[in-house]
Amino acid sequence: MTTTLRAATREDVPLILEFIRALAEYEKLLDQVVADEAMIDANLFGERPQADVVIAEHDGRPAGFALFFHNFSTFRGRRGLYLEDLFVRPEYRGFGIGKALLAHLARLAVERGCARFEWAVLDWNAPAIGFYQSLGARVLDDWRVCRLDGEALSRLAAQA
């Protein structure tokens, strides 16, 4: 049994959306997914790609994915790599696929001169937190994510 990683292509758009929906279902957030194939295609493979995707295949079958992009650390004066989503199908968990994806992204971050590699995890997801910590990740308890979306985003934008 072998796991291979590859960069996603435009032909993977339906698969990427399938992974996004499966992740959202696991996180109990499926009702929040509004992305469709056209949006994924335009934003990942259009004129100005906004993120990259790595597909993990186990014995030639799609097993998981990681979607990431670069951010910038003003304190470090260098870009960072931000993991937006990581998902491995339940039947493929325990085969080292999640670790392989994270190690691949860590290598990309180092090769690209990134100051850090970051992601967020839901506070109730104890298995993921334990897994990340086993790889050496620190969970930053003193930081909270702030988000503007929907009506709140529009309302603030109207004040500009």
Active-site residue, selected from the candidate residues 26, 82, 92, 132: 132
The span from the CA of 10 to the CA of 55, in Å, is: 12
Token pair listed for 112: 């690209």
Q: CB-hemisphere CA count at 13 Å for 154? A: 2
- Is 26 catalytic? The answer is no
The span from the CA of 41 to the CA of 57, in Å, is: 21
- Do 23 and 120 meet the contact criterion of CB atoms below 8 Å apart? no
- Do 108 and 81 meet the contact criterion of CB atoms below 8 Å apart? yes
Catalytic positions, please?
132
